[in-house]
């Protein structure tokens, strides 16, 4: 039976590295709200997040927060609504519907 240390050394020498569970980040994987819908539409359209951020002139950090449902990381609600509308329309989603869904999801957040 081969020891774990020998197996690790063999993997390193082959250029492979073992993935540990603590390295897998699934913190936002379960989110399935409007941000996930927008991300899915962007991906289907073959759009790169960096390019979208540049075209829309919205900081990439805000687009990532939207896609992952991290609404507390967005600026004032009026800006967040504008970001949602602009981003949704840019990937082919109805802006008004996106805003309704966003407001429903973010209803419990402090304004």
Q: Which two tokens stand for residue 64?
A: 């990532």
Residue 20 has pLDDT above 70, yes or no: no
Average pLDDT of the chain? 82
76 or 108: which leads in pLDDT: 76
DSSP state for residue 75 in the 8-state scheme: S
Query: Is pTM, for the whole model, over 0.75?
Result: no
Buried b (16+ CB within 10 A) or exposed e, 40-73: ebbeeeeeeeeebbeeeebeeebbbbbbbbbbee
Q: Which two tokens stand for residue 92?
A: 């082919």
Is there a contact between 11 and 18 (Cβ–Cβ < 8 Å)? Answer: yes
């Amino acid at each position: 039976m081969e020891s774990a240390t020998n197996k690790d050394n063999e993997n390193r020498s082959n250029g492979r590295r073992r993935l540990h569970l603590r390295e897998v980040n699934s913190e936002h994987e379960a989110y399935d709200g409007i941000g996930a819908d927008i991300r899915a539409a962007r991906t289907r359209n073959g759009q790169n997040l960096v390019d979208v951020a540049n075209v829309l002139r919205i900081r990439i950090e805000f687009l990532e927060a939207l896609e992952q449902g991290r609404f507390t990381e967005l600026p004032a609600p009026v800006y967040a609504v504008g970001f949602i509308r602009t981003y949704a329309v840019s990937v082919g989603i109805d802006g008004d519907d996106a805003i309704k869904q966003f407001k429903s999801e973010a209803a419990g957040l402090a304004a």
